[in-house]
Amino acid sequence: MTKARTRRPPFALRALRGLAALTVAGLAGVAAWTGLRSAGFRFRWDLDSTPPPPAEAPALREAPPASAPPAAAPGDGEEADTPLDAHDPLAGGRHERIEFEAYPDGRPVVSNSAVAEEWREQGLVVSFESYTADATRPHVLDARGYLPANASVHALSFPLAGEQGLEVGVLHLDFPGRPRSVTFTLFGPDLIEDFEVIAWSAGERMSASTRTHAPDMRYASGGDSGSGTATYSPGGRSLFRAERVRIEAPLGVDRISLDGWGPPGHVLLVDHLEIDP
């Protein structure tokens, strides 16, 4: 008795079956990846390969990125997470320069301390937001582990979280006097292509055309002001850069928000702030 031969399916059908199997496997992989990241797991290639910073430069705490930090509830002495009212009067005071080396009364700043309204009489109030931290006030850091060798000692940045390093979140600069121009130097990792700076005027978010970013040539590579760059390596770490940011608004600047969520989450530091009414 002759045994019947088993006929193989056509090539096209076998190819479709293989593609369907690959699709199912891919969807399962994407679901697993998404679940791990939503749980806060970070893969090695997501992280900066920077070696551990020196003691005076706390590491940035890992935290999952957020699309938009939640609004802070007003009351209990905290500022509401909204810009000033559009009908508040414009500034009429004098030009102010804040270096974060001393308080307005002349006392030297206390390194690594939380601040909020210490510079209110000069036209600045600061706050901090984070999904993963309870802190609502930024810190004035002994920032020599992050700044160029020829920079000052202190800068305004994210809160310290003890031995865990710096928190990740959004630093808010509020201007009760609503000046028409604010300029400051912003320091951060050069691997971040664009430092996210969001400004508000008359209760509305300002367009990108109202602000300019340029290298702060005081920190140009090798001290060469003609090099066109302002990058440096603090303490042998990976490259950082210094940008001079200027924001102008005919109706006054209410708030400037500096977003370090990422991904990847990264440190941002502020110094040499000028308020021009």
> Does 38 reside within a domain?
no
Q: Is residue 23 part of a domain?
A: no
For residues 277 and 96, is the Cβ–Cβ distance under 8 A?
Answer: no
Task: Give the model's pLDDT for residue 68.
Answer: 44
What confidence category does residue 220 fall into, taking pLDDT thresholds of 50, 70 and 90?
Answer: confident
The H or E element spanning position 22 is helix 11-38
**Residue 165, domain member (yes or no):** yes
pLDDT at site 87: 55
pLDDT of residue 118: 97
CA 253 to chain CA mean position, Å: 19
Q: Does some domain include residue 117?
A: yes
CA–CA separation, 49 and 99 (whole Å): 31
For residue 140, CA distances in Å to 42, 45, 49, 99, 262 come to: 29, 31, 26, 11, 22
Instruction: Of 217, 206, 192, 215, give the one whose Cα is nearest residue 247.
Output: 206
Q: Which of 221, 210, 204, 220 is nearest to 245 (CA)?
A: 210
Domain membership flag for residue 10: no
Kindly state the percentage of the chain with pLDDT values over 70. 72
Q: How confident is the model at residue 72 (pLDDT cuts 50, 70, 90)?
A: very low
pLDDT tens column, 75-95: 343 444 555 555 566 655 689
In a domain, 192, yes or no: yes
Spatial separation of the C-alpha atoms in residues 62 and 151, rounded to whole Å = 27
What is the domain-level CATH number for residue 254? 2.60.120
Categorize the per-residue pLDDT at 247 as very low, low, confident or very high, splitting at 50, 70 and 90: very high
pTM for this entry: 0.70
Q: By residue range, what is the domain housing residue 55?
A: 44-70+81-276
Structural domain contains residue 34:
no
Q: Mean pLDDT of all residues in the chain?
A: 80
Instruction: Evaluate whether residue 208 is within a structural domain.
Output: yes
Q: What is the predicted pLDDT for the residue at 19?
A: 75
Q: What is the pLDDT of residues 6-58, one digit of tens each?
A: 566 677 777 777 777 777 777 776 666 566 555 544 443 343 433 334 445 77
d(CA 136, CA 66): 17
If one counts the domains in the chain, the total is 1
